[in-house]
Amino acid sequence: MNEIERRMGELYGELARHSRLYYEKDAPIISDAEYDALLQELLKLERERPDLARLDSPTKRVGGAVLEKFEKVEHERPMLSLDNVFGAEELKGFADRVEAAGEAFVCEMKIDGLAVSLLYEDGVFVRGATRGDGRVGEDVTENLRTVKNLPLRLEPPVPGRLEVRGEVLIPRDQFAELNRTREENEESLFANPRSAAAGSLRQLDSKIAAARGLGIFLYYLADAEKLGIHRHSDALSWLAVRGLPVQEAWARCETLEEVEAFIEKWREKRYGLNYVTDGVVVKLDDIFLWEKLGATSHAPRWAVAFKYPPEEVFTRVLSIDVSVGRTGVLTPVANLEPVRLGGTTVQRAGLHNEDEARRKDVRVGDRVRVHKAGEIIPEVVGVDLDARTGAEVPFEMPEKCPACGSPAVRLPGEVAVRCLNRGSCPAQLKESLRYFASRGGMDIRGLGGKLAEQLIEKKIIGNLADIYALTAETLKSLERMGEKSAKNLAEAIEKSKKRPLSALLTALGIRFVGDKVADILAGHFGSMKALRGVSEEELALVDGIGPVIASSAAAFFRDKANQELLKRLEKNGVNMIGEVKIQQGWVFSGMTVVFTGELTSVARDEAVLRVKELGGKATGSVSAKTSLVVAGEKAGTKLEKAKKLGIRIINEAEFLEMLNKRVFKDSRPSSEVGGRVPS
């Protein structure tokens, strides 16, 4: 085996692994730029030795595998990827190949998200699918319904069948907040916005997708010629007129010089957009030429993606602080000499934990290389060891909490160093207060980090229950708090008392209990009273609750201080009852229901809600635990799987009949039919 053959084998293995992590797990471990570099190296070697190129080479592929948990959707026309170019010379090569007719181009910002195809019938959104492997994608219709800027009905309506394509994204501010929350919950962080968007859209529970604040921009109109549209620029305008979201950062360019000017214009300006872009997509404007030029196995010949180089800068570490989070975790943070990076001035960069700080050996005084993870979060990439003078000061994790002076310990099996003074550590209380009031928790608008700091420093608040003793008069006395703001905040506090039990469970900040787990707990137990007395063993039996979560939640409810907190919250009028009471004998009690195909008489979201209201739960995949499958029109692989497993299958009319009955008369003992009755 020669050197080229050996290296190609290595690249095939490495790229396959990274593709699985990127497309199927939504958990990449290298940057897009690093992946592109490996792909370009392989492409170069394949050109040198085409006889060694594999048929399944990643240079010939579009995306990743289709996940089995979703129904499959076969695309009417392939959803291809784009070839990349990385400089002016390669861009000119593309232009020379396609500019024979002197045609104009359209430039659009390349969005770092997940490609989807949307289907409308007579102006109504009926189906959405991921790109998948380019020919078969995943049906993610219900999750796409939660994307707020996607119209579910077109105005004016478009008769007949309409397919459009675009990119689902997560805004910059949402991404930063999402990762901050995940870090507080000690969950793995999303590597970039694309992973966050993909991970959100491929959830079986659409509530999770809804909570992520996803957005979408459309960039393709199928069968444009049938609508009398012959230019891509006109197609984009046509989409926008009908209320379909199209990004504003696009332009029609008559010449290559105008294309290059667009690329330069947005090189820095793109950082002002509230979504991440890593380049510019350049397309021929004339749609007729698209068909004429055709495509390779994985990319069209009439379009290309110009990729901006990843931005990294050098700066110096002035000091290293340690912040204390909501769960008591101590996190080292490097304070930097201010430096311009990705459109903003960066002064701080997280070092994640003690092990990471040691691995990188970042010292005070070091010259370090910094980039923005996902073009958003400042991160120290490495140290310039050649620049060291010997005066640099190594970092040591403190033995005491910098906020309260309590011992800082590293528990067995954990990477985090933690302050265990949960009850009175001001830093933990401040973060707990901010988290409690956040939109995913008790949704107390106006109660942010700075106000929380004031309330704690002035000793107005000593624990979370004290929030409900605040009055407009008390709030008015605080700095930068006018009479109207104080009144609005007092009203928001009062309103938060009616939040659902699942929101309260999220807001309490129980370790490993995020919104999804909180929803499971609230739905299963039905009341805080039932949860207060629950054992670790009982929790572990709940579907969706693993042993780690069960142990953490049981420990929280056993804790005397937490028991007292819950009593005070209840006394102050905070809702402690689940929004859906699951009763024995209701028509779907104890049943796991799966919907497949299209329902015509009731919306899918409404059907799922009715199942929950009548004692059951709805999931997105068929398994041995499934009790019932409701098959609508055009039912797919879920129906076939249900038949193989011998699961009961009903049609939409039978489902509606069950809804009307509400109470299920069954000869089986109640222990076989229902779940736990909430207190």
Q: Which residues are catalytic?
A: 110
Cα Rg for the chain, rounded, in angstroms? Answer: 28
The span from the CA of 585 to the CA of 589, in Å, is 6
Q: Which residues, in sequence order, are CB contacts of 473 under 8 Å at separation 6+?
A: 486
The span from the CA of 632 to the CA of 430, in Å, is 50
DSSP H helices, 526-636, are 528-532, 536-540, 547-558, 560-571, 604-613
> To 5 degrees, how large is the angle CA 145–CA 149–CA 151?
60
The span from the CA of 92 to the CA of 260, in Å, is 10
The span from the CA of 43 to the CA of 15, in Å, is 12
**φ/ψ (deg, to 5) at 626:** -70, 135
The span from the CA of 663 to the CA of 585, in Å, is 6
- 183, 327 contact by CB (below 8 A): no
- 355, 327 contact by CB (below 8 A): no
The span from the CA of 159 to the CA of 565, in Å, is 57
The span from the CA of 613 to the CA of 607, in Å, is 10
Q: Which residues, in sequence order, are CB contacts of 96 under 8 Å at separation 6+?
A: none
Identify the burial level of 262 via C-beta atoms within 10 angstroms of its C-beta, where 0-12 means exposed, 13-18 middle and 19 or more buried. buried
- Residue 593 forms beta bridges with which residues? 618, 628
DSSP H helices, 242-383, are 256-269, 287-293, 354-360
The Cα-based distances of 389 to 317, 474, 501 in angstroms read 14, 54, 57
Q: Which residue has the tokens 């098959």?
A: 631
- 354, 332 contact by CB (below 8 A): yes
- 572, 554 contact by CB (below 8 A): no
Pairing of strands 329-341, 344-350: antiparallel
- 299, 312 contact by CB (below 8 A): no
Identify the burial level of 426 via C-beta atoms within 10 angstroms of its C-beta, where 0-12 means exposed, 13-18 middle and 19 or more buried. middle
The span from the CA of 534 to the CA of 521, in Å, is 11
- 102, 59 contact by CB (below 8 A): no
- 22, 196 contact by CB (below 8 A): no
Q: How many residues does this entry show for the chain?
A: 679
Of all helices (H) and strands (E), which one includes residue 88? Answer: helix 88-98
